[in-house]
Each structure stands twice: as C-alpha cells, then as structure tokens.
Amino acid sequence: MNKFVSHTGITTPLLHPNIDTDTIIPSREMTCVSKKGLKDGLFSAWRYTLPGSREANPDFILNRPAYENTSIILSGDNFGCGSSREHAVWALKEYGIRAIIAPSFGSIFHKNCIRNGILPVVLSNNAIKQMADWVGQDPQRHLLCIDLAKQTVRWTTEKVFEFEQDKAQKDMLIKGLDAISLTRMLDHKINAFEQNDRLERPWIYLD
C-alpha cells in the first residue's frame, strides 16, 4: 500500500451530503472482482450523460478542465454511507484520489479508506466551505496541502486547519501498511505461539 505522509494536490468540491457508495460506483459498473478497471465507473451517474454511456457530462465538476488531475475531494456530511462495497474505495484510489475531507463518513467506508491508503479527514462544514470557495477561484493553483504527520490541512500560505486522527490508523497510512502487513509484523509472536502449542497439544497438528 502507498504510504501517506503528506500530499499536495488539486481539489474538487462535491459539497453534497450523504454521497453513498452506490453513487460513488453504481452496481452496474462493478464488472470485476479485482481492484483494477473501476475508475471509469466512478461517479458514473454524474460523469456521463446516460446510464452505461461514456459520453462525458460537461456540467459535472470532475469533467471540467479546471479540475483535471484531482487528488483531493471536499464533500458534505456522511460521505460513503450506504452499502459496504469496497469497490467504492478502489474506484476512488484508481482514479487518483489520495484524500477525502468531509464532516463525517460512513463507518465501513472510513475503515476501507484506511485499509487502501486513502486518508479520510474530518473537518467542519464551515472549514470545508471556506476551502471550497478558495479552491474554486483557481483550482489548478489553489492547492490543498495535507500533512498527516502534523495532522494539518494548509490552504493558503497562512491558513491551516488541524484535524484528529486515530493513532493506529495514522501509523498504518504513514507506514503504508494494510491489514495483512500489520499481521505479518507479528510473525515472531505467531510462530512462537505455534511452536509452544505444538509441544502442549501435539495431537492437534497432524502433519
């Protein structure tokens, strides 16, 4: 998993509340079980003119040249609510999204972000509105800088918002560890337990 220490990037405001996982990637776009090949389905109901079409909707913000190469999303309350589909996070990651800033997140979606290297940042509606207004003036130049180590979002040379982050989740992102990597870090304890258990209960292990 890619490490997340700090990131500076182009930001798109999607200031809608309750953007659910079916909006992030509709079920009809989930044609594979891998993490690849999903980015074209991201926000497909908004990005394209018709369901199943790939004709770009010029009114959708991510299709505008000013927001090309977006890597940060500003959004409203309860981002990623709805079903638990991890494809939503996979699609965002493959598209190039490194962080999402919202007042709150769907709980399973939030965990899936951490496990896939996307940083979910919780800030107030007021803070997000201020940044969205500033970003919208010149999206290609008004970049947000997120420093996970310091737990800050810098949005001008002078203005900074601080955010909270669970220490264990912060460590996972900074070190680039997924759930499997975390388990592998305990290999020595797992092996020691198994060796001791073989001595105490040899009948359990039928080689």
Distance CA 115, CA 181 (A): 10
Distance CA 121, CA 100 (A): 6
- pLDDT number for residue 182: 67
Q: Is the pLDDT of residue 42 over 90?
A: yes
- pLDDT number for residue 164: 97
Residue 150: CA count within 13 A, CB half-sphere: 11
Distance CA 8, CA 153 (A): 10
- pLDDT number for residue 95: 97
Which range among 42-46, 61-65, 158-162, 174-178 shows the weakest confidence by mean pLDDT? 174-178
Mean pLDDT of all residues in 84-104: 96
Neighbours of 46 (CB within 10 A): 16
CB 21 within 8 A of CB 80: yes
Please write the tens of the pLDDT for every residue from 5-18.
999 999 999 999 99
Residues, the chain: 207
DSSP 74-117: EE-TTBTBSS--THHHHHHHHHT--EEEES-B-HHHHHHHHHTT
Structural domain spans, the chain: 6-175, 177-207
DSSP state of 20: B
- pLDDT number for residue 207: 65
DSSP 34-65: SSSS-GGGTTHHHHBSSTT---B-TTSGGGSG
Neighbours of 8 (CB within 10 A): 14
Q: Is the pLDDT of residue 19 over 90?
A: yes
pLDDT band at 31 (very low <50, low <70, confident <90, very high): confident
Please write the tens of the pLDDT for every residue from 145-204.
999 999 999 998 889 999 999 999 999 999 988 777 766 777 788 888 888 888 888 888
Mean pLDDT of all residues in 62-66: 97
Please, what is the Cα angle at 68 between 65 and 101, to 5 degrees? 125
Judged on CB neighbours under 10 Å (0-12, 13-18, 19+), 124 is exposed
The distance in angstroms from the start CA to the end CA of the chain is 35
Token pair, residue 77, equals 């309350």
SS3 (DSSP) at 195: helix
Please write the tens of the pLDDT for every residue from 108-144.
999 999 999 999 999 999 999 999 999 999 999 999 9
Of 78, 70, 66, nearest to 15 by C-alpha is 78
Q: Class assignment of domain 6-175?
A: alpha beta
pLDDT band at 37 (very low <50, low <70, confident <90, very high): confident
Distance CA 192, CA 204 (A): 16
